[in-house]
A and B are shown apart, each in its own frame.
Chain A
Amino acid sequence: MSPTPDAALAAAVEQLLAVAADAGADQAQAAAQSGRGLSVTVRLGKAERIEHRRGRSISLTVYVKGEAGMRTASCTTTDMSSAALAETAHQAVTLARLADDDPAAGLPEREALVERVDDLALAFPVQLDPQAALDEATACEAAAMAVDRRITNSEGATVSLNTGDVVLGNSLGLLVGYPASRKSVGCVVVAEGDGAKERDGWGSVARDPAAVEPPEAVGRIAGERTTRRLGGRQLTTRKAPVCFEHDVAATLLGHLAGGLSGTALYRRTSFLAGAIGETLFPPFVTVRDEGRRMSGLGSSPFDGEGVATRDRSLIDAGVVAGYLLDTYAGRKLDLPTTGNAGGPHNLFLRPGDDDLATLLRRMDTGLLVTDLMGQGVNLITGDYSRGAAGFWVEGGEIAFPIHEVTLAANLRDIFGRMVAVGSDLRFDSACCSPSVLIEEMTLAGS
């Protein structure tokens, strides 16, 4: 059964499209969202924050015909009164007339628009019950604090619940929408030893509240991850193999997506410009972007322009197989949209057969990275230089924690010198990866 668009949002979208046409828009798209949520934090066993949220907004993109193409502008408002919608439409058309004619601007081709909105199991019943959420957060934090006597402090455990609707329509007659839900449980604690403090945490998130890991399990992992960081040392500057643990390995996929994004490609600001068909990774690497994954955190039956989403490979057996394009970038590159207005959906690296322990044995001596810091990634050149923390591995076993070190290489070398992919993939984010082993990077330290 197809999900039906929320009636109130659909009415606002239709009204906004009508007033946009009245205001002089030749084409228009309107998107509305509304939601309710509850978020609670328990710190050191006591309720620290109970937050009730309620939100809604509507946005409009208009296109006005010029001599050499369309002119465009976008407006957003939280006020859905008739007067505010009329003002929004008027503003959008006024701003659009100031833009330059652009042959690539305009709504997607009619054939690209989603025909049938499939139920991707994105909405589940969510109880916005503060006491139940507080109880879970309390259990989560208690489990974290119980892991080790050296865990002396906490930033708290948080339980968040959200439920809402999105509706999208355009002047080609599209009007689609669906409800969605999300629950997360997370915890951050602080451990102390030898006069130094370390923090770390863990979390679990899912569309279906019943699919979220039990709070006690989340807390236990948060506690273990924090304790194991105590006693960190610096490394001397060297070149060494590097194993990125699953969570931090996912950030590499984020950089890959940045390099394959249509905007960066047509602006010639990507280190992966023209990379389609190129062998970027070894043959055992396949990277998927799946928009239609059931209950996926990044799933949606249609993208930000109403284009049907797909399940496809960005990297197929090491070779660049696809870009991330919206309609505009597609037209600039003379390619069809890939249904990625708004970016990738569920981006993941297909897991291999080896668990993390096997990857570390294979690495023998090198750095296991568990935490990354900073923004030192230049997607124009591919230069990569970030702060890191983790563990020094000797003889395939964790020897001691490492902190205050930087990792540097070019992303092309990181991708090309990926020598193994782990089996530890979990779908806990819209961008996820198993652990991966990189042959060599430069580590700077003392």
Chain B
Amino acid sequence: MDPMDLAEALLLAPAGLDARRLAALVAEAAGPSVELADLYLEHSRQQAFHLEEGRVRSGSHAIASGFGVRAVAGEATGFAYGEEIGNATIGEAARTASTIAGHGASGAVALTRRTAPPLYPADDPIGSLADADKVRLLERVDRAARAVDPRVDQVVATIAASHEVVVVATHDGDLVADSRPLVRLSISVVARDGEARGRGSSGGGGRGPFDLFTGNLDPESLARAAARQAVINLEAVAAPAGTMEVVLGPGWPGILLHEAIGHGLEGDFNRKGTSAFAGRLGQRVAAPGVTVVDDGTLTGRRGSLTVDDEGSPPQETVLIDDGILAAYLQDRQNGRLMGQAPTGNGRRQSFAHLPIPRMTNTFMRPGETDPEEVLASVKDGLYAVQFSGGQVDITSGKFVFAASEAYRIRDGKIAEPVRDATLIGDGPDCLTKVTMVGNDLALDLGIGTCGKCGQSVPVGVGLPTVKLSALTVGGTAG
């Protein structure tokens, strides 16, 4: 189904709205000194089932719909939102938002419907698998995890699907809709052996129907991965403390890029000059051979968007080109203020949030080195393959990410597993210490969520095996 047809049915027709009325409402927001005005309508639905202690404990369902209207004049933004979608409520909000730019008559707005090539099916994924089969899928996960080892004590799993239909109408004439499916399976396992406990987690998903859960997203494989990690962590010893060589495995450890450089390259922080990367375009921020991209155009990926939340098309943006800082991630306002084109990274959590520059799928391009060779080159270091999350101070550039599955490397070989430890580094400096890049680029399996300014959006990360010559590992052992 065409996203605009879905939008008509779910958002416009029930509220008595059409393209002509939307144009008039955007014109209300677009006062005389307003450089950018838009209206965003959203209808979202999500459903989930939760399993714990071997039983499907509950189901949940949520529906939210609403509108947000904004007017931007220079660096100033007026914004109003609400849940009651209608000509009168949006009109009042549009007038409220436009006061940021002073009062006065505005020009007419004419909307032209624009379509974008879809990166995922438009259909609501909730109905793509019978509810009874979703429940059975969770039961399969529970059985597969418990079959790995008798020490598996607790399995908690959630299967969730959501569908978001959005419409963006802009003062400069774009009327565009998107229909965004998203499915996710999250699994968390705890293993117990006497007093020792180990945790493991895994999961996967993406933008599409439940058919995604085959191949490397097969529920049994994901369950076994979580259980295996939990059992390994039973044997984990104290992580080392200090600065050492660190090898990051492929896939999810790409969270390094997200924290170390991704946030620091978002346009808002650089326009304001509050990022550690501000004013550094064209400078070396990574070792030669390191190329990092943000790509919102990957088919079916969790971080992908057919259009961003300002109606801009997504793109592949090369952030770091062979070690040189090449671009920032821009939304419309910050791009305009910096004299740069939007990069399709204007995203918002919902109608109740303003769009800001956000990452989509951020990863490092592969090199040519065999990952075995990367490990073999380390005499004493850390090999981290799974992480539980990270954070960055974009002004000082300091960032952390917390390893949830990691091993000591001794004499080029993977040795004993170590307990959870935070890794800390300096964003603008960290990637200059990349000394080897593997040929095994992998993207994460599709469960990442990024938080910024109180807004959460789904994202993807990816990394080949890489070696950093020095990174501080926050364990307790010598």
Q: How far is the CA of A48 from the CA of B337 in the complex (A)?
A: 13
Known A-B contacts A98-B135, A197-B274, A199-B395; A375 and B57 likewise in contact (beta carbons under 8 Å) = no
Which one of B73-81, B161-169, B436-444, B456-464 contacts A?
Answer: B73-81
Contacts of A130 in B (CB 8 A): 99
| A198 and B396 form a contact (CB under 8 A) | yes
Q: How far is the CA of A328 from the CA of B422 in the complex (A)?
A: 34
Contacts of A288 in B (CB 8 A): none
Q: How far is the CA of A411 from the CA of B399 in the complex (A)?
A: 22
Tell me if A444 counts as interface (CB < 8 A to partner B). Answer: yes
Which one of B31-39, B236-244, B306-314, B322-330 contacts A?
Answer: B236-244
Tell me if B93 counts as interface (CB < 8 A to partner A). Answer: yes
Most chain A CB within a 10 A radius of its CB, from B273, B389, B390, B476: B476
Q: How far is the CA of A72 from the CA of B273 in the complex (A)?
A: 51
Scan B239-262; emit 1 where CB is below 8 A from any A CB, else 0: 101110000000000000000000
Closest chain B CB from A261 CB (angstroms): 14
Shortest Cβ distance from B77 into A: residue = A49
| B422 and A385 form a contact (CB under 8 A) | yes
Q: How far is the CA of A421 from the CA of B426 in the complex (A)?
A: 33
Q: How far is the CA of A53 from the CA of B401 in the complex (A)?
A: 34
| B419 and A53 form a contact (CB under 8 A) | no
In chain A, positions 72-94 with a C-beta closer than 8 Å to chain B are: 72-79, 84, 88, 91-92, 94
Closest chain B CB from A279 CB (angstroms): 18
Tell me if B315 counts as interface (CB < 8 A to partner A). Answer: no
Contacts of A75 in B (CB 8 A): 60-63
Contacts of A355 in B (CB 8 A): none
Partner of B59 from the list A51, A96, A383 (CB cut-off 8 Å) is A96
The count of A-to-B residue pairs whose CB atoms sit within 8 angstroms is 255
Tell me if A395 counts as interface (CB < 8 A to partner B). Answer: no
Closest chain B CB from A341 CB (angstroms): 14
Contacts of B61 in A (CB 8 A): 73-76, 88, 91-92, 95
| B398 and A373 form a contact (CB under 8 A) | yes
| A55 and B390 form a contact (CB under 8 A) | no
| A267 and B156 form a contact (CB under 8 A) | yes
Shortest Cβ distance from B132 into A: residue = A98
Shortest Cβ distance from B50 into A: residue = A99
Known A-B contacts A78-B63, A373-B393, A406-B474; A50 and B100 likewise in contact (beta carbons under 8 Å) = yes
Q: How far is the CA of A92 from the CA of B399 in the complex (A)?
A: 42
In chain A, positions 1-51 with a C-beta closer than 8 Å to chain B are: 43, 46-51
Tell me if A269 counts as interface (CB < 8 A to partner B). Answer: yes
Known A-B contacts A91-B61, A237-B241; A53 and B76 likewise in contact (beta carbons under 8 Å) = no
Known A-B contacts A99-B56, A386-B422; A444 and B81 likewise in contact (beta carbons under 8 Å) = no
| A98 and B475 form a contact (CB under 8 A) | no
Q: How far is the CA of A99 from the CA of B60 in the complex (A)?
A: 10
Closest chain A CB from B418 CB (angstroms): 10
| A76 and B79 form a contact (CB under 8 A) | no
Q: How far is the CA of A385 from the CA of B80 in the complex (A)?
A: 41
Shortest Cβ distance from B425 into A: residue = A404
| A72 and B398 form a contact (CB under 8 A) | no
Known A-B contacts A198-B395, A383-B419; A95 and B64 likewise in contact (beta carbons under 8 Å) = no
| A237 and B242 form a contact (CB under 8 A) | yes
Contacts of A378 in B (CB 8 A): 199, 404, 419-420
| B420 and A376 form a contact (CB under 8 A) | yes
Scan A254-273; emit 1 where CB is below 8 A from any B CB, else 0: 00000000000001110100
For A, the interface residue count at a CB cutoff of 8 angstroms equals: 74
| A100 and B56 form a contact (CB under 8 A) | yes
Contacts of B377 in A (CB 8 A): none
Tell me if B125 counts as interface (CB < 8 A to partner A). Answer: no
Known A-B contacts A197-B396, A387-B398; A77 and B56 likewise in contact (beta carbons under 8 Å) = no
| B272 and A268 form a contact (CB under 8 A) | no
| B402 and A376 form a contact (CB under 8 A) | yes
Known A-B contacts A75-B62, A98-B132, A197-B395; A268 and B192 likewise in contact (beta carbons under 8 Å) = yes
In chain B, positions 32-88 with a C-beta closer than 8 Å to chain A are: 47, 49, 52-53, 55-66, 75-83
Q: How far is the CA of A46 from the CA of B66 in the complex (A)?
A: 29
Most chain A CB within a 10 A radius of its CB, from B57, B79, B396: B396
Partner of A98 from the list B131, B419, B426 (CB cut-off 8 Å) is B131
Partner of B475 from the list A46, A48, A78, A408 (CB cut-off 8 Å) is A408
Q: How far is the CA of A409 from the CA of B388 in the complex (A)?
A: 18
In chain B, positions 344-378 with a C-beta closer than 8 Å to chain A are: 352, 354
Most chain A CB within a 10 A radius of its CB, from B57, B153, B426: B57
Q: How large is the interface on B (under 10, 10 to 19, 20 to 34, 35 or more residues)?
A: 35 or more
Tell me if B7 counts as interface (CB < 8 A to partner A). Answer: no
| B59 and A98 form a contact (CB under 8 A) | yes
Closest chain B CB from A226 CB (angstroms): 9
Known A-B contacts A52-B79, A268-B154; A405 and B62 likewise in contact (beta carbons under 8 Å) = no
Tell me if A153 counts as interface (CB < 8 A to partner B). Answer: yes
Contacts of A173 in B (CB 8 A): none
Shortest Cβ distance from B79 into A: residue = A51
| B63 and A76 form a contact (CB under 8 A) | yes
Q: How far is the CA of A202 from the CA of B49 in the complex (A)?
A: 40
Q: How far is the CA of A367 from the CA of B213 in the complex (A)?
A: 48
Closest chain B CB from A5 CB (angstroms): 20
Tell me if A126 counts as interface (CB < 8 A to partner B). Answer: no
Tell me if A429 counts as interface (CB < 8 A to partner B). Answer: no
Contacts of B352 in A (CB 8 A): 53, 55
Contacts of B190 in A (CB 8 A): 267-269, 380
Tell me if B421 counts as interface (CB < 8 A to partner A). Answer: yes
In chain A, positions 152-198 with a C-beta closer than 8 Å to chain B are: 153-155, 190, 196-198
Closest chain B CB from A48 CB (angstroms): 6
| A77 and B64 form a contact (CB under 8 A) | yes
Q: How far is the CA of A378 from the CA of B76 in the complex (A)?
A: 42
Partner of B131 from the list A92, A95, A154, A380 (CB cut-off 8 Å) is A95
Tell me if A121 counts as interface (CB < 8 A to partner B). Answer: no
In chain B, positions 427-466 with a C-beta closer than 8 Å to chain A are: none
| B64 and A78 form a contact (CB under 8 A) | yes
| A99 and B57 form a contact (CB under 8 A) | yes
Q: How far is the CA of A386 from the CA of B76 in the complex (A)?
A: 36
Contacts of B474 in A (CB 8 A): 376, 385-387, 406-408, 442, 444
Tell me if A381 counts as interface (CB < 8 A to partner B). Answer: yes
Q: How far is the CA of A98 from the CA of B57 in the complex (A)?
A: 9
Partner of B76 from the list A46, A105, A267, A404 (CB cut-off 8 Å) is A46
| A54 and B83 form a contact (CB under 8 A) | yes
| A373 and B391 form a contact (CB under 8 A) | yes
Known A-B contacts A100-B56, A267-B53, A444-B241; A405 and B424 likewise in contact (beta carbons under 8 Å) = yes
Most chain A CB within a 10 A radius of its CB, from B55, B58, B99, B239: B58
Known A-B contacts A91-B61, A389-B398; A446 and B243 likewise in contact (beta carbons under 8 Å) = yes
Contacts of B475 in A (CB 8 A): 385, 408, 442, 444
Contacts of A229 in B (CB 8 A): 396
Tell me if B472 counts as interface (CB < 8 A to partner A). Answer: yes
12 sampled A-B residue pairs with Cβ under 8 A: A47-B100, A49-B76, A49-B78, A53-B80, A76-B61, A95-B47, A100-B56, A130-B99, A199-B393, A375-B391, A386-B474, A408-B239
| Other A-B pairs, 17, CB within 8 Å; known A50-B76, A54-B80, A271-B197 | A52-B81, A74-B60, A75-B63, A99-B135, A190-B273, A196-B396, A267-B52, A267-B154, A268-B154, A374-B389, A378-B199, A378-B420, A380-B198, A381-B199, A383-B419, A403-B396, A444-B243
